Amino acid sequence: MNIVPKEMPSDSAVKISSKKRGQENIKRIESEIAEFRNDVKNKFESDDAGKIFDALEFMLELHCEQEDRIDGNPFIIHPLEVASDLVNKYEITEVDLIIGALLHDSVEDQSLKIVEKTSNAEMMKLSGEELQNSALDVIANKYGKRVKELIKGLTNPNFNKIIEELEIRGIKKEKRDLYKAHVKEAIESQDVFVVKLSDFLRNAGNLPEIEPKKTHFIKKYGPVIKDVFIPAFEEMSESHPFLKKRGDILSELNDIYDIKYKSELDEINSTREEKEQY
């Protein structure tokens, strides 16, 4: 079965049959796409809506056959939810930010697919950071420099490579520590902050409940809530796009931390301190 966002040309069909998805998931994906399109049509001028729909189609092409997320959801549900939250929950009206939300995982996960769109044989031989940079250039040509810089800021660096380089210098770092430092630096850009917060809450609000990686997510996301996002909202400038939503979002962050993270992190830290005493 093909998933075709309504009112898109038939040649933009996104084939998902190879993933052997159940009928329930197919209907859910179709429903999410239709609902997002309807929200965009109601809240954006036709030219702007067209730009967002182009990014939607591109996202579907890039991620349609990607492995399901650890929570069992089809991957394409996640960027749809992040973009939908910007449109509805946070009332963001800047087209570039909605496009960035739809494509926020594109370079990190699908750089080769992006580069393949150029039919440039030399570019398709690239790997690693060079491949990602070429993919970002494709994004810039398609959606502009602002979207390119936004997605660049949303793309996680190669933490494993960084850890290896630090170990050579005798420095030991955990991947979660590097992740926290990356998020803190990345959200200095207001554009990145807006999309990253939406992405982060979709992850941090759900993934800690999933075994067997519950402890991993608790350690990864808990300190970022406590040490990065909560202070960022407490010190938010008057010109920040989230200023009007600051109280609600800060309350949500505190609730998520207190309910899903605090006791678990306290127990983990207590156990670590006991081990260190011996």
What would the pLDDT profile of 122-145 be if each residue is shown by its tens digit?
777 778 899 999 999 999 999 999
Q: Give pLDDT, residue 2.
A: 41
State both tokens at 272: 């670590």
* pLDDT surpassing 90 at residue 95: yes
The pair of three-digit structure tokens given for residue 184, joined into one six-digit string: 């803190």
Q: What is the pLDDT of residues 159-218, one digit of tens each?
A: 999 999 999 999 999 999 999 999 999 999 999 999 999 999 999 998 877 878 889 999
Tokens of 160: 């494993």
Mean pLDDT of the chain: 89
Residue 13 pLDDT grade (very low, low, confident, very high; cuts 50, 70, 90): very low
Q: Span 1-19, mean pLDDT?
A: 43
Question: Which residues is 2 bridged to in the sheet?
Answer: 15
Q: Does the pLDDT of residue 120 top 90, yes or no?
A: no
The pLDDT score that the predictor gives to residue 27 is: 86
Q: Is the pLDDT of residue 258 over 50?
A: yes
Residue 198 has a pLDDT of 98
Rounded to two decimals, the pTM is 0.88
Average pLDDT over residues 88-105: 97
Question: In which band, very low, low, confident or very high, does the pLDDT at 272 lie, cut at 50, 70 and 90?
Answer: low
Provide the residue ranges of all domains of the chain, joining segments of one domain with +.
Answer: 156-278
The closest alpha carbon to 229, from 207, 215, 246, belongs to 246
Confidence of residue 225 (pLDDT cuts 50, 70, 90): very high
For 42-73, how does the pLDDT look when each residue is reduced to its tens digit (9 = 90+)? 999 999 999 999 999 999 999 998 998 988 88
Which positions ≥6 away from 10 have C-beta within 8 Å?
4
**What is residue 261's predicted lDDT score, i.e. its pLDDT?**
94
Using an 8 Å Cβ cutoff, are 80 and 123 in contact? Answer: no
Residues 128, 129, 133: CA angle, nearest 5 degrees: 125
- By mean pLDDT, which of 3-12, 47-56, 64-73, 76-85 is the weakest? 3-12
Q: What is the pLDDT of residue 23?
A: 76
